[in-house]
Amino acid sequence: MKVEVLEATKSKKMVKDPSGFFTIFVDKERKEIVVEFYEQVIKDKAKKTGTGKLGMVVCGTTAEAICHTIAREDLVSRFDHAAYLGRELQKAEIALRYKLEYTQDEEIIFKLKK
């Protein structure tokens, strides 16, 4: 049986999830990951910006638990959006666990001790 092998490529086209969007940050004082879900995305064509209404806040200490909650609450309608959230939440969990800085959509900087 011949199996097709694909080279992984990054998509250049971003498609917004009609369900809404998320902001992710680490709350160092509470020692948890906070995910804000914004629904009903409203586009201002004149300013070319999008906004939404805060619909839910999910807090937790593991990417897995937060992903399960987001899936259970049916907050994502696109597989690519779910995959993106999984990557970002795993980065946030690593940052929380090792007391690193986390900014959504940015790389984590590891500080090596000498």
What is the pLDDT at residue 15? Answer: 83
Task: Examine residue 1 and state whether it is found in any structural domain, yes or no.
Answer: no
What is the pLDDT at residue 50? Answer: 64
Task: Examine residue 50 and state whether it is found in any structural domain, yes or no.
Answer: yes
Please give the residue range of the domain that contains residue 84: 21-97
Exposed, middle or buried, 90 (CB in 10 Å: 0-12/13-18/19+)?
A: middle
What is the pLDDT at residue 14? Answer: 77
What is the pLDDT at residue 49? Answer: 60
What is the pLDDT at residue 111? Answer: 80
Task: Examine residue 13 and state whether it is found in any structural domain, yes or no.
Answer: no
Q: What is the pTM of this model?
A: 0.85
Residues of the chain with pLDDT under 70: 41-50, 114
What is the pLDDT at residue 45? Answer: 67
Number of domains in the chain: 1
Q: Distance between CA 37 and CA 15 in Å, rounded?
A: 17
